Structure 1
Amino acid sequence: MRTSRTSTTFPPPVMEARRWLDGVDFPPERPLINVSQAAPVEPPHPDLRQAMADAVLQDDSAHLYGPVLGNDDLRAELAARTSRIYEGSVTPAQICITSGCNQAFAAAIAALCGEGDEVIVPVPWYFNHKMWLDMAGATAVPLTCTADMTPDPQAAAALITPRTRAIVLITPNNPTGAEYPDSLVTAFYDLARAHGIKLLVDETYRDFHSRSDAPHSLFSLPDWDETLIHLYSFSKAYRLTGHRMGAMAASPALMAQIEKFLDTVAICPAQVGQHAALWGMQNLDQWLAGERDEILRRRAAIQTEMPRLEAKGWSLLGLGGYFAYLRHPFAMSSAQLAPLLVREFGVLCLPGTMFYPDDATAGASELRIAFANLDVPGLSALFDRLQTVDLALR
């Protein structure tokens, strides 16, 4: 009996990690510190919640199907905002709204790839990207990152074959937190353009970038949409994770293919979430700047705390967005260490093995810390616990 591609795809890692909590008690003096998932747990700004309630009560269209590619006013607002942030030129026809950024990635792959086509993905990779490529019948070609957790365009060039359809970049990166400089992103753009393939740039965590200027210059390039597919998420910026609001920027020609996928899968993005995303962009810039400042404070706190772990053989491999990516010093694989940290130290994080191909060894010494839900005192408590881990060393 033949098996489906979905049945041969590995289980969702975050769900697997949550099962490690089963049967474990966390006493009041040592509550669970959960740094496994990169999502805000607080609700949206009160004024945004009121705007959403007003839409539900007063706008009949909030309860009806809308345009498959998203509401016109939201697409126009995001196009204008993207043009402003990147000092480029983006039109509403180059924008679509999706049910979360994961769906934007899935739609892009569905439009680009046939059975057995290849997509180059830097490792450690975002596991949901790998999962979708597996389920779509496309091949994820791993591109090993350098010591500073950045991918090498020359190494990527050596992986391109006649079946290659795209290269994927995430910046700030999930899982490593690495922020790719404009020169690196542009080098990958030039590589993709030269080979007639697409560059997918996922900037889910753009609003928490440590740079205050434009993260890259791709939108200012002529005919950028012939090569670039840009992915974005409203979920982190406006705390809308439960409303599943993502977006894509690409060519109008590709949008015609994207529309087929979105119409089949969801028909249209959720209306209330679209109202929220639009209202957030129009009214919450100052609040969002404060959210970014807080994330940067937490990032700085990790840099301050790291010497405590470095003295015990740990190292910080990447830091940015919502993530700190660590190398641990223990002989035990992170696949065994992560569940042990839950049971013995009350810390839930993800092992590096969840971000690599099965035959890779690097992930065994790595852990991902998603720190967006810990304030500065909470981060200090996390480092207190990690500092006490005493196991056989490599």
Structure 2
Amino acid sequence: MQVTPTLAATPAPPVMEARRWIEGVAFPADRPLLNLSQAAPADPPPEPLRRAIAEIALTDAEAHLYGPVLGLPELRARVAADWSRAYSGDVAPAQVAITSGCNQAFTAAIATLAGPGDNVILPAPWYFNHRMWLQMSGVAPRVLEAGADLLPDAEAAAALIDDRTRAIVLVSPNNPGGVEYPAATLAAFRDLARSRGIALIVDETYRDFDARDGAPHDLFADPDWDDTLIQLYSFSKAYRLTGHRVGAICASPARLAEVEKWLDTVTICPNSIGQRAALWGMENLSDWLAGERREILARRAAMIDGFTALPDWTLLGCGAYFAYVRHPFDAPSDDVARDLVRRASLLVLPGTMFGPLRAEGGTGRAEATLRIAFANADLAGITTLFDRLAEVSRGAP
């Protein structure tokens, strides 16, 4: 079988790999599987949105047809208006495109920026799908190790830039680390990218669950923001529309004209029903979404409290959907994660899926860490998580 070398060298999708660890495993009735591996809502959209989706499917004939490649004009306008208000900036509908999920927004952005032989600066720990796309596209991920606080440093990034560097990628709130990047950090990276003539891609998939009140940064307040900034967003997390695949990209109209070429050859247009559902959510579910944020923040607090009671475990970052922790075992994290399936009926992802291994020049953090996606565990489930981790730490079977 012939396979392109870059694709063949790309690791298997981590979530799918982790699911294979539980295939054929019989979990005890008194210790069912607690799956904390995937960063996605486990529940369907709220009932009012499901009813709206049904009504759209039944009555809106246009929802079943091809639509504009860059997305529903009404949704683009709503995103522009909401972003302008939320960030105290100026975002126009022509600077917004809708994509088939946020992953596609990232791939479209990279398609306009980089090709084989180019490189993109990627902080570690990284979001694995970002690294996968760079690798299979022949674009070298230039790894920027984040500090002990999981924050990347712009001065360190500057040393990595050469004449083939095309962009810097940041994710805030961070996946997998959970940390929320300070506005000053994002501004420093913007200034660096602008001074070197490269793009700054900021993935804000989890912006709706940021613990800070108000705008998390002022990048959109810069009247020339679109000469450097490319912002990515996902409707999946806010409105539980994961299966409908709706994301967004904010960039200059000139860049979006190039994005349009790429999208037209891939999906032609975003999911029409999903776009209308996202728009309905933006128009009608602000109070509901505020409640979802409060619930996620309560779970975050429970995670922080839980690790305080487990001194052998070190919480490195916690926010949005994620806790990123240093485990206490004398074994690499991929072995630890597999062992937790057997010993504790817990499915989490190892740090080896999010950063370079020691053999690849890494610092060893990848082998020492685990990502726990707690958004799918209610407070009772989080209590169960810590009961099981405590048992494993004590050496209980």
Flag whether TM exceeds 0.5 (same fold).
yes
Gaps of 5+ in 2: none
SS at match of 1:6: helix
| Structure 2 equivalent of residue 324 of structure 1 | 323
Shift of 1:44: 0.5
- Measured against aligned partners, the alpha-carbon deviations of 1:28-55 in whole angstroms (never above 9, x if no partner) come to 2111111000000111011111111111
| Structure 2 equivalent of residue 101 of structure 1 | 102
Letter in 1 for 2:366: G
Q: Is residue 2:265 matched to residue 1:273? A: no
| Structure 2 equivalent of residue 350 of structure 1 | 349
SS at match of 1:93: helix
Letter in 2 for 1:370: A
Shift of 1:335: 1.0
| Structure 2 equivalent of residue 31 of structure 1 | 32
Shift of 1:317: 0.2
| Structure 1 equivalent of residue 306 of structure 2 | 305
Letter in 2 for 1:131: M
CA contact under 8 A between 1:328 and 1:365: conserved in structure 2? yes
Aligned counterparts, 1:106-255, within 5 A: 106-255=107-256
Letter in 2 for 1:321: A
Q: Is residue 2:265 matched to residue 1:264? A: yes
Shift of 1:391: 7.7
| Structure 1 equivalent of residue 86 of structure 2 | 85
SS at match of 1:368: strand
CA contact under 8 A between 2:356 and 2:366: conserved in structure 1? no
- Measured against aligned partners, the alpha-carbon deviations of 1:345-375 in whole angstroms (never above 9, x if no partner) come to 1000000011112422221110000000111
Aligned counterparts, 1:41-56, within 5 A: 41-56=42-57
Q: Distance in 2 between matches of 1:351 and 1:164?
A: 29
Q: Distance in 1 between matches of 2:4 and 2:248?
A: 33
Shift of 1:94: 0.2
SS at match of 2:375: coil
Moved over 2 A (4+): 1-4
Task: Give me the TM-score of the superposition, normalised by structure 1.
Answer: 0.97
Gaps of 5+ in 1: none
Shift of 1:180: 0.2
Shift of 1:4: 3.4
- Measured against aligned partners, the alpha-carbon deviations of 1:249-295 in whole angstroms (never above 9, x if no partner) come to 00000001100111000000000000100000000000000000000
CA contact under 8 A between 1:168 and 1:201: conserved in structure 2? yes
CA contact under 8 A between 2:299 and 2:374: conserved in structure 1? yes
| Structure 1 equivalent of residue 16 of structure 2 | 15
Shift of 1:2: 7.5
Letter in 1 for 2:381: G
CA contact under 8 A between 1:9 and 1:135: conserved in structure 2? yes
CA contact under 8 A between 1:330 and 1:391: conserved in structure 2? no
Letter in 2 for 1:241: T
CA contact under 8 A between 1:308 and 1:387: conserved in structure 2? no
Shift of 1:27: 1.9
CA RMSD across the alignment: 1.1
Q: Is residue 2:373 matched to residue 1:374? A: no
Task: Give me the TM-score of the superposition, normalised by structure 2.
Answer: 0.97
Aligned counterparts, 1:288-303, within 5 A: 288-303=289-304
Q: Distance in 2 between matches of 1:80 and 1:383?
A: 42
Q: Is residue 2:391 matched to residue 1:388? A: yes
Q: Distance in 2 between matches of 1:199 and 1:316?
A: 28
